[in-house]
Structure 1
């Protein structure tokens, strides 16, 4: 389940909440009953290690070209 960050436009409160994709976005601040907006940040995907390139899975002795 994804985590979404919300910020209240009125009181400035920031909080995170777990929500399903099918759930509607929150619109009311639970503290002051003000207007909420959903904050969007960077995507947390990082590619590390071998296997990123197609040739990474091959052993070092076999190259794709014939000599």
Structure 2
């Protein structure tokens, strides 16, 4: 059985990692630490995707 184009593409795709920054309290530095980590990863040549769900609006973020 021959692999289709999609199967070949998936076979050569490197899976990523998911890192979740969680903390008990507001303002404990979760977003700041996430952005620091993302900056370091970018400097090392890693593609980075950032998502943030904020129930409160913080001027710093």
Q: TM-score, normalised by structure 1?
A: 0.24
Larger helix proportion, structure 1 or 2?
2
Larger strand proportion, structure 1 or 2?
1
Computing the radius of gyration from Cα coordinates, the structure with the larger value is: 1
Q: TM-score, normalised by structure 2?
A: 0.25
